[in-house]
Amino acid sequence: MKLPSLEEQYKALEDIHISAFGSELIRQILLPELLGKETASILYWAGKSLARHYPLETISDIITFFEKAGWGTLSVLEEGKDELHVELTGPIIAARFALHENCTFQLEAGFLAQQIEHQKRRVAEAFEQQKKRANKVLITIKWDRKDEINS
């Protein structure tokens, strides 16, 4: 089944504003109940899968995607020769920390890993570091400059 383009989806849904409560019920209650101790790793791979459905060409496109998806505000902190450091902030991040003792941002990390892999044409991985007191998540995406993707 062919999905509508990202732009078509943005346009069709841009005027609909809903509470984050529904998505948080699924993410914080239902998925962990269904997936158990594998929740974080499955969410990482789910994020990679989403990124393959919606390949984005620039970091600016990724930032916009995060905003439109309600995943928070993504900011680039620093980019090196083989890694990118980003920060995820916003009301949804603060709410997750306040409401849930154990939360994960592996969906976002997997999405970022796959997007950077697509953009850099190098195998990439992402690692999250939660800063609960500061209500932010630092995500480091690393790629291997020698491990080129051929497709």
For 39, the token pair is 């929740």
**Residue 2 is assigned to a structural domain of this protein:** no
**Residue 15 is assigned to a structural domain of this protein:** no
What residues make up the domain containing 67? Answer: 20-148
**Residue 47: which of 100, 114, 99 has the closest Cα?**
114
- Contact present, 88 and 73 (Cβ < 8 Å): yes
What's the pLDDT score for residue 9? 82
Number of structural domains found in the chain:
1
**Residue 79 is assigned to a structural domain of this protein:** yes
pLDDT digits (tens, 9 = 90+) for 20-53: 898 899 999 999 999 999 999 999 999 999 999 9
